[in-house]
Structure 1
Amino acid sequence: MSWLLTEAHLTDLARGAAVLGTGGGGDPYVGRLLVREAIREYGPVTVLDPDELADDALVIPTAQMGAPTVVFEKLPRGTEAVAALHALETHLGRRATATMPIECGGINSMIPLVVAARTGLPVVDADGMGRAFPELQMETFGVYGVPGSPMAVAGERGETTVIDTGPDNRHMEWLARGVTIRLGGVAHIAEYAMRGSDVRRTAIPRTLTLALTVGRAIREARERAADPIAHLASALGGTLYPHLRVLFRGKLTDVERRTEAGFARGRAAATSFTGEHKLELEFQNENLVALVDGEPRCVVPDLVCVLDAERAEPITTETLRYGQRVTVVGISTPGLMRTPEALAVFGPGAFGLPYEFRPVEYLADFPPDG
């Protein structure tokens, strides 16, 4: 069933989207402010259940693209994604029926809401990653046969360009990344235009509702002086993300981060509060793997989420700092993201990681060393 998203939803939604974004997807505070201002000016946004889409509806997802470290300092005006949407509509010769996120993440769950508010379009309650990934071909849309191009890229000064690589989504990513770098390291995009029937076949459903549920669960636990991690695990139990495991509790002791080829890449290390165990995270915009004492405990595409140890607020990769006290959790992904076809596109091998994918509920409960 469709529902109206108002300003009152935004804090919980941004928090939950940042958790599901696994450290990436852009700054949640900036995203929340952008949507707040759009809703104040244009009114609330209709969130449309994917089951309510007509088969021949045209859905055009919108997003922000770029390294989170750049996005953190280079704030959008709020009109760029609308420009990308209109450029793609012009190229296709057809108006969109709705927009949709391409991923969960602090800002990229929010950009389609800005577009929806400014254009009057509904936003579909679904996305193509079920989390955040750093590259455009890493979409369940593409895994299951929807081409990403033609896509439109828009810059902050009104520049737009259309990229069409046919079914080659990886080449689309390479070209769009180069354009984004030349636009200053961040751009806004419209891509993976598809029919309503394709949304139902290829998207991870109801992830905006899920993000709202996640953010609300953490807030309500804090208000009740309850354990937010336990409350979050309970909230996830009946969803497509049913398994949450606490992987590590400790203090960050080192962060190495660099902006390279349009991505924020790096590692973070932590020591447990008892001093007995070590954690290492590796990230490319998003957290990709959590190693505890050198052994993998959660590997992409499952979610590695870094949360503040006291409040369970999500910590993005660009805000990781020495001395932060953290709880690191792993969360299972839907079955659509764990098929051989999906793992070939965004499993550990796609990132050059020397680990086999095994579900977090296995790795955390039955680690290699015992």
Structure 2
Amino acid sequence: MQIDLTNVDAMATGCAFLGCGGGGDVIAVQAAKYALETHGPVPVLQLSDLSDDALVLPCADMGAPTIFFEKVANGDEGRLLVEEMSRIYGRPVAALMPAEIGGSNGLTPIVWAARLGLPLVDADGIGRAYPELNMIALELNGVSISPGILADERGNVVTVRSIDGPWMERIARSVAVEFGGAAAFAGYPLTAAGAREAAVIGSISRAIDIGEALSGLEGDRVAGLCRHLGAGEVIRGKIVEIEGQVDGGFVVGSATIEGSGADAGRTVRLEYQNEFLVAFENGRPLVMVPDIISLLDANSGDPIATERMRYGLRVALVGLSAPPIWLTEKGIALGGPRAFGYGFDYAGMMVGA
């Protein structure tokens, strides 16, 4: 399997869906296309293709998604991350892995892999997108986040050794703010054998499948995609209010959707912190983290990122059950509603699937 110009658009669509509105805008697909045109296709390996002790490097961008529209990467950040991690471990990095498949963070590793001549592995650290570094399945499975490495487009490199994931999040977030609000990040380094046990397997394949499925649909594309994925529709209507601001390296806010058609008379409030967190109707949560919440264009079915929401946009809100690791007791504690300050427990989706 490989990522090339024939499937990278499909992957971008799938990454946008799994990004839950965040993970960075998939406009990054343009950088991925340029890298593929310039350096050729990127091989995608199964973890079983690598030797047990092969060094796999999870990597991503971090920062408020809106920052990346103005703070443009130069593509060399990945080299800085790989060189520093290789120096620390005294051996080469064998493959890159998206730390999260959602949004641009599923695509940026393509740029770095193409430029470095490295493969990707068909896995990621989350199976969706989350706003904080330590909200990752690798953390749940006992992988150390340290050393964590940050780099920027100027060539600055910072290596952080923290006592745990939450401390890495605090320190790295402050570094990203000093870098101008965003940074390239690599952490949770592990062997291929460790990744087979700790990572979410098949994430790249899944993203491509979602994109290809959507592109092949006719008629009601939202309903067709929901059938393909086993997802449930929350509401269809238009966005009538948006609130948002950058706070502490995150974009936080809400969007209000006024129902139309079969959903006329309904109003849903969708809250987010980079990613969509909870959708409320009359104060009652209908769908919530860790389940995948995606906002789609009601006509095309294309996913819409938080920073691209606009008043009057016709949308469909859908929910999809989270990867199994996030539905465990530890997964819900790390990535469920209470992790974001909500005063209620995860209760699954209150919509049909």
* Normalised TM-score (structure 2): 0.96
Classify the secondary structure of the residue corresponding to 2:103. coil
1:216 Cα deviation from its structure 2 partner: 1.0
**1-side partners of 2:103 and 2:159: how far apart?**
26
**2-side partners of 1:247 and 1:82: how far apart?**
42
Structure 1 residue runs of 5 or longer lacking an equivalent are 237-242
1:131-146 to 2 correspondences below 5 Å: 131-146=128-143
Alignment equivalent of 2:7, drawn from 6, 9, 13: 9
1:365 Cα deviation from its structure 2 partner: 4.0
1:92 Cα deviation from its structure 2 partner: 2.2
Equivalent residue letter for 1:108: N
Partner of 1:340 in structure 2? Answer: 329
* Normalised TM-score (structure 1): 0.92
The answer to whether the aligner puts 1:248 opposite 2:235 as a matched pair is yes
**2-side partners of 1:288 and 1:92: how far apart?**
37
Partner of 2:251 in structure 1? Answer: 264
Residues paired across the two proteins, number: 351
For the 8 Å contact 1:248–1:292, the answer to whether it is kept is no
Alignment equivalent of 1:99, drawn from 72, 75, 96: 96
Alignment equivalent of 1:297, drawn from 282, 286, 289: 286
Partner of 1:121 in structure 2? Answer: 118
**2-side partners of 1:250 and 1:73: how far apart?**
31
The answer to whether the aligner puts 1:84 opposite 2:76 as a matched pair is no
**2-side partners of 1:276 and 1:9: how far apart?**
40
For the 8 Å contact 2:222–2:296, the answer to whether it is kept is no
Classify the secondary structure of the residue corresponding to 1:36. helix
For the 8 Å contact 2:239–2:258, the answer to whether it is kept is yes
List, as ranges, runs of 4+ consecutive aligned residues in structure 1 with deviation greater than 3 Å. Answer: none
1:123-272 to 2 correspondences below 5 Å: 123-166=120-163, 168-221=164-217, 225-236=218-229, 243-272=230-259
Structure 2 residue runs of 5 or longer lacking an equivalent are none
Alignment equivalent of 1:42, drawn from 25, 30, 39: 39
1:304 Cα deviation from its structure 2 partner: 0.9
**2-side partners of 1:11 and 1:61: how far apart?**
22
Partner of 1:24 in structure 2? Answer: 22
Partner of 1:240 in structure 2? Answer: none
| Root-mean-square deviation over aligned CA pairs | 1.3
Deviations 1:73-98 (A, max 9, x none): 22211111221221222122221111
Partner of 2:311 in structure 1? Answer: 322
Q: Percent identity of the aligned residues?
A: 38
Equivalent residue letter for 1:80: E
Equivalent residue letter for 2:226: A
**2-side partners of 1:160 and 1:213: how far apart?**
36
Query: Cα distance 1:53–1:337, how it changes in 2: closer, same or farther (>3 A)?
Result: farther
Equivalent residue letter for 2:180: G
Classify the secondary structure of the residue corresponding to 1:306. strand
**1-side partners of 2:274 and 2:54: how far apart?**
32
For the 8 Å contact 1:27–1:68, the answer to whether it is kept is yes
1:72 Cα deviation from its structure 2 partner: 2.4
Alignment equivalent of 2:72, drawn from 75, 78, 103: 75
Partner of 1:311 in structure 2? Answer: 300
For the 8 Å contact 2:73–2:152, the answer to whether it is kept is no
For the 8 Å contact 1:213–1:235, the answer to whether it is kept is no
